[in-house]
């Protein structure tokens, strides 16, 4: 079965760029799925960040647009998230996940990212 694993720095300073990678195992990024990112600030609810398809199509949360980009690396069977100019408000657990239709059916375990000077 498909498994997802997030990786990337856990601590950033304000104004830096958050870069996370999600490695897909047991399946291919070149499939009929959207590959998505969701975050969850400590003690709070889920926030949809954005998604990408292997064709290069993307959709983003309008509240983050301008700072966020999501892309697929077919050669590495990975997809990635970049969020620029981070602040403390971007501190959260970041999840990568799969959306085959109108539901998210596979999730990574999540990675905590803290923004602090």
Partner 1 sequence: EIVLTQSPGTLSLSPGERATLSCRASQSVSSSYLAWYQQKLGQPPRLLISGASSRATGIPDRFSGSGSGTDFTLTISRLEPEDFAVYYCQQFGGSPMYTFGQGTKLEIK
Contacts with partner 1, residue ranges (CB under 8 A): 45-48, 59-62, 95, 97, 101-105, 107-110
At residue 14's C-alpha, the angle toward residues 60 and 11, to 5°, is 85
Least separation in angstroms between CB 78 and partner 1: 18
Provide the minimum distance between the beta carbon of 67 and partner 1 in the complex, in angstroms, as a whole number: 15
Q: CB-wise, 19 or 93, nearer to partner 1?
A: 93
Contact at 8 Å (CB) between 55 and 34? no
Spatial contact of 80 and 61, defined as CB atoms under 8 Å apart: no
CB nearer partner 1, residue 15 or residue 109:
109
Strands (E), 8-90: 11-12, 18-25, 34-40, 47-52, 58-60, 68-73, 78-83
Q: What minimum distance in Å lies between the beta carbon of 1 and partner 1?
A: 10
Nearer to partner 1, 16 or 27 (CB): 27
């Amino acid at each position: 079965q498909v498994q997802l694993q997030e990786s990337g720095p856990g601590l950033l300073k304000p104004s830096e760029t958050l870069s996370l990678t999600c490695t897909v195992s047991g399946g291919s990024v070149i499939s009929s799925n959207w590959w998505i990112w969701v975050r969850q600030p400590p003690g709070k609810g889920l926030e949809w960040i954005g998604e990408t398809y292997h064709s290069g199509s993307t959709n983003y949360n309008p509240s983050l647009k301008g700072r966020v980009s999501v892309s697929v690396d077919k050669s590495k069977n990975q997809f990635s998230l970049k969020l620029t100019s981070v602040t403390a408000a971007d501190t959260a657990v970041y999840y990568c996940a799969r959306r085959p239709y109108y539901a998210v059916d596979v999730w990574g375990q999540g990675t905590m990212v803290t923004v602090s000077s």
